[in-house]
Structure 1
Amino acid sequence: MKKIVLTAVLGMFAVMAIPFSASADVTSLRGDLELDADSKAYEKRKQVTQKGGFERSFKLQPPMIPHKVDKDKITLKTNTCMRCHSAANYKKEKAPMTGESHFLDRDGNKLKKVSARRYFCNQCHAPQQSADPLVENQFVGAK
């Protein structure tokens, strides 16, 4: 019985000591700022635009946004992306039409409007910026 209690007590101390020993080598993403201090403002980067769009890195990659989006607005009631990319306007605006998959509900039924699951475009489609990578990356897309 004493061995079980002793093992349990030593185990509890070991588990409690792990965060203290591991935290010595970890640095915060906030840098040396205190938790209650305001974070540093990030350096604003210029959006990269490219006529004709960007090459995709893999087959089913969502297209990256090749134009400025700083004035676009996506809320529950408004989606300014659809001004150019809707079925009614894409030819006139010379923009790609929203993909057919965006008009399917979760059961695969075709809808007349963009599915609520696909309404917030910037969840998958991202504008590009002239910025150095945050981490080293050796990724090469399949062609």
Structure 2
Amino acid sequence: MRTLARIMIGVFALMSVAAFAQDQFATMRSKTPLAENAAPRPMAKPVNSDLRQARNYPEQPPLIPHSIEGYQVDKNSNKCLTCHARAAVQDSQAPMISITHFMNRDNQFLASVTPRRYFCNQCHVPQTDARPLVENTFVDVDRVIDYVKSTKGAK
């Protein structure tokens, strides 16, 4: 009897998971049957505001507030340094790359960007006008502190 109950519970659990996965999959596929190809969604447009974005946590790499389409960043060239290098910021008015990008792994400062910080897209990402796929419930630490202060004063 116990074995039969366990099997029934297992079957019910698998059916529930399968139904949930099917609902999720159908939603992600726009309810297109598996044998058919859905029309692709339009590509999100890059945000080109050139306005600095607020950081959400300490040590977060700054976001890229402009399109980087066509930027060459490889071992031979780094288009980002055209504006963000120490020698270029006077003319470009772009923020200079952080001094930490000149430190090697032994914390020694180099005259040029360290190879481990040369590929900007490892950490810095451009933004698009895409609708978020999931709800973001992140709360900035400053809002948490303000909330705690306001609730202490209310008592």
TM-score normalised by the chain length of structure 2 = 0.67
Could you tell me which residue of structure 2 aligns to residue 106 of structure 1? 105
Change (3 A) 1:57 1:40: same
Could you tell me which residue of structure 2 aligns to residue 116 of structure 1? 115
Root mean square deviation, CA, Å: 2.8
CA distance in 1, matches of 2:104, 2:131: 38
Indicate if the aligned counterparts of 1:46 and 1:130 stay in contact, CA closer than 8 A: yes
Q: Deviations over 1:16-75 (max 9, x none)?
A: x9xxx58735456984547xx989645211111223311111221111111121121111
SS, match of residue 47 in structure 1: coil
Q: State the Cα distance separating 1:142 from its structure 2 match.
A: 2.1
Could you tell me which residue of structure 2 aligns to residue 55 of structure 1? 54
Could you tell me which residue of structure 1 aligns to residue 141 of structure 2? 142
More helix by share: 2
Structure 1, unaligned runs of 5 or more: 1-16
CA distance in 1, matches of 2:79, 2:118: 11
Could you tell me which residue of structure 2 aligns to residue 45 of structure 1? 44
Q: How many residues align?
A: 126
1:131 aligns with 2:130: yes
Q: State the Cα distance separating 1:77 from its structure 2 match.
A: 0.8
Q: Which moved more, 1:92-101 or 1:59-68?
A: 59-68
Q: Deviations over 1:64-98 (max 9, x none)?
A: 11112112111111110000000111111101001
Give the counterpart letter for 1:81 in structure 2: C
> Which one has more relative contact order, counting CA pairs under 8 Å at least 6 apart?
1
Indicate if the aligned counterparts of 1:33 and 1:39 stay in contact, CA closer than 8 A: no
Could you tell me which residue of structure 1 aligns to residue 146 of structure 2? none
CA distance in 2, matches of 1:38, 1:113: 49
The sequence identity of aligned pairs, in percent, is 36
1:92 aligns with 2:53: no
Structure 2, unaligned runs of 5 or more: 1-9, 143-155
Indicate if the aligned counterparts of 1:85 and 1:98 stay in contact, CA closer than 8 A: yes
